[in-house]
Chain A
Amino acid sequence: MKLRKGIPLIDQHDKSGFWGGKFGGNFIPETLKKPIADLTVLFEKLRKDKSFIRERDYYFENWVGAPTPFIKLNNLTRHLKGAEIWTKVVSEANGGAHKIYNATVHCLIAKRAGKKYIVGDTGAGYAGKMLSMAAKKFGLKCKIFMGAKDIKRQKPNCDAMKKNGAKIVPVYTGSQTLVDAVSECMRYWVSNCDTTHMCVGSTVGPNIFVKICGWSTSQISRELLVQIKKEFGSIPKKIKLLNCVGGGSSSFGFWNEFMHYNKKQIEFVGVEAGGPKRSKKHAAPLTYGSKIGILHGASQYVIMSPEGQIEETESISAGLDYPGVSPLHCFLKDAKRARYTAATDEEALSAYMLVTKFENLNPSLEPSHAFAEAIKLAPKLSKDTVIIVNSCGDAHKDKDILKQRLGI
C-alpha cells in the first residue's frame, strides 16, 4: 500500500470510495444513496469554486480566528532536556477546538444546498458545540445527537450548545457514547434527508464525510507550514508531529500539508486512547491491531468481537472514546506513513499536570494523550529534533473530570 504524490490524500480513493483498496467506501442504506451522491457533486463543485473558497477563508480568518498560535514550550523543553517542544494552540480557535473548521464548512455547504436544518453527532461535545455555533452564525436550525453518558461528563459543552439554540437529543442505546450518537444521527438523516443536512463530526462515516472533514481541518497544517518556515527560516531536518487520534479529524488536518515529506524528516505520530491502566478496554484500534470491519458506513480498523459486534470502548476522554478510526488513518498506518501508539488515562492525566505546571496552556484530555507521548519521547531525542504537539482542544469542558481525578 503506497501513498501517491501530487494528489491530496482525501482524493486517493478508488471509484467505490476506498483508500488503499479497502478502507472507507459507502456501506449505506439505499435511502442515503441519493443524498450522498448529491452532496458529493456539490462538494466537488464547491471546492473548485473560488467564491466558495473566499467565503471559507473569510470566516476562518475573521470568525474562527486563523491562524491559531504556534509557540515554543520553553519550560517544558528545559525540564525534559531533549528535543524542542512546540505546540500549535488550535484550542485558541473560536469555540476552543479544531471542530470549528468542519462545522463551519458543513454549514456553508448546507446553505449552498438550500437546507434549513443541520444535524450532527458529538462525543466530547466540541463537535456539537461548534456545529451549534456555526448553525447560529449561518441561520440554520440545529440538532445535536449525544450519548447520555457523554452528556453527563461533558456538561460545559452541553450548556454551550443549548445557549446557541441547538436541541440536544440524548441517545440511550448501546454504550450511550459517541458510537451510538453517530448511529442515531445517521438514522435521523435517513428519515429527514430531504430537508436536513448532516454533519459527521470527524473524518469518519461514508466516503464524502471523510473528505469534507479532512478538507476542512487541513486548515491547521496550512497555517503550520507557514509558521514553521517563519520561525525556523526553513523546514527543520527532524520534526515529529504528535496528535491524539479518536476519529482522526484533528490529526489528519495537522498532517495533511506535510504528507509528501519524507517520514525521516517529518514523522507523524498518532496517539490513541489506551483507556484506564487496569482495564482491558481501550479506544485504540490502530495500536492494538484490531481487524477491519464496517462501522458507520465505512470499512476501517474497528474494535469488535470475532462475530462482528462493535465492542464497548473506554477512555477518560470522550472525544477519543470511539471504537473505529478514520479510513484515512487506516491507510496511513498500512502505507507506513504514520505511526500509532496509545496513552492510558493515567498517562494523559499526568501529562496534563506536567504541561499545566510548566506552561501557560490548558490542553483538554484529548491532546493530553499526545502530550503524554511527547513527554515520553523528548528526553530520548537530540536537541535538534522538533516535536510539535497539536493542542487541539481546551480543558474547560473537562473541569468536572479534572476536579474529580486530580482535585484541581
Chain B
Amino acid sequence: MTISPISLAFKKTKREKRTALITFTVAGDNTKKNSLKILNSIAKYADILELSFLHNCPIADGGQIQNSTYRSLKNGTTLKDTFQIAKRFKKNNPKKPLILMGYYNLIYQNGENNFLKNCKLSKVDGLIVVDLPWPENKKFAQKCKKKSISFVQLLSPTTSKERMKKIIKDSHDMIYYISMLSTTGGKLKVSPKKILENYSKIKKINKSKNLVIGFGITIKTIASLKKADGLVVGSALCKEISKSLRNRQNPVTNVNKMVSKLKNKII
C-alpha cells in the first residue's frame, strides 16, 4: 500500500526534527480566486493545509472563522466551488496534503458516497467533520479509509482516557487534539505547559500516531507548543484576512507573510 501524503508530511517533519505547520482557511474567503491564491502561496511554508467547506450554522466556530464563513457565503461560494478550489490547488501541488473540514449536514445532503467521490476527484487527502464524533463516525470513517481518505478523529480535554483509547484505535494517520474548552479562535486559557502535559498523556497511548494540537494557536503562542507533531493555525489567518480587507490591503500577501512568520517561529 502506498503511504498517504499526510503520513509522508509527518515523516518529513520528523526527519527535520520539527513540528508540522498546519494551516486552516475558509474556502472562498475572501473570494474564490484569492482563496486559491492563498493556498498556493502558503503551501511553501505549510506542511498540511486545511480548507473548510461552508456551513451557515457552525456550532463550534468562534468569531473569526464565522466572519470568514459568512463573508464567503455572501460571495456565493458553494460546495461545488470548494471542490473546484481543492482540485486546482492539488493540480499545482500534487504532493501537498489537503484536508477538508466542515459540518456533517453538507456531507449528508451531498450523500456520503457522492461526497467522497467528489473528494477523490479533487484529490483531497483527508476529512475533519466537526459534529460527527466517535462512535457515530465509525461507518463513515471506514468508508473514508476504503477510499484512501484519512478521517481525522478529534480529542478534547473532556475526552476520558478510556474513550481516547478507543478513538485512537479507530484513528487513521492524523489525530487532532483540541487544546482547551473553547470554540475555534478562543484566547489560550490553559498554559502551554498544561496542554503539552495532556498531549504527552495522549501520545503515550500510541506513540506512532501523529497528534496535532489546534485551537488558540497564534504567532504569540505557537513557539511554546512546538514539541507537538503538528500545530494548526486557523482563526489567526481568518483574522488576518479580515484585517487586510479593513485596511484595504491585499489579503493574499498578508496571509502569506503571516504563515512565513509562523514557520519561522517553529524551526
Contacts and interface: CB of A to CB of B under 8 A. Distances in A.
A113 interface: no
Interface in A61-79: none
A33 B104 contact: no
Contacts of A233: none
Contacts of A294: 103-105, 108, 131
Contact of A187 (B62, B78, B154, B160): B62
A27 B132 contact: yes
A191 interface: yes
Contacts of A299: 108
Most chain B Cβ neighbours within 10 Å, of A25, A299, A307: A307
B136 A308 contact: no
A309 B133 CA distance: 21
Given A31-B158, A173-B70, A307-B109, A193 B57 contact: no
B181 A34 contact: no
Given A30-B155, A33-B159, A296 B57 contact: yes
A183 B59 contact: yes
Most chain B Cβ neighbours within 10 Å, of A187, A192, A193: A187
Interface in B107-133: 108-110, 130-133
A156 interface: no
A395 B133 CA distance: 42
A180 B257 CA distance: 34
A190 B136 contact: no
B62 A295 contact: no
A194 interface: yes
A14 to B, nearest CB: 12
A31 B104 CA distance: 16
A299 to B, nearest CB: 8
B162 to A, nearest CB: 11
Contacts of A139: none
A391 interface: no
A28 B131 CA distance: 4
A308 B66 contact: no
Interface residues of B, number: 40
Contacts of B154: 29-30
A294 B129 CA distance: 13
Contacts of B170: none
Nearest to B135: A16
A308 B158 CA distance: 29
B61 A187 contact: yes
Nearest to A187: B183
A192 B158 CA distance: 11
B161 to A, nearest CB: 12
Nearest to A27: B131
B57 A179 contact: yes
B195 interface: no
Given A31-B60, A193-B158, A194-B158, 15 more contacts: A29-B59, A29-B131, A29-B133, A29-B154, A30-B155, A33-B156, A33-B163, A34-B163, A173-B70, A187-B59, A294-B104, A294-B105, A295-B57, A297-B59, A304-B109
11 contacts: A27-B131, A29-B156, A30-B159, A174-B56, A174-B57, A183-B58, A187-B183, A293-B108, A304-B109, A307-B79, A308-B55
Interface of B: 54-62, 66, 70, 73, 78-79, 103-106, 108-110, 130-134, 136, 154-160, 163, 178, 181-183, 186
Q: 4 tightest CB-CB pairs across the interface, nearest first?
A: A308-B109, A34-B158, A31-B156, A294-B105
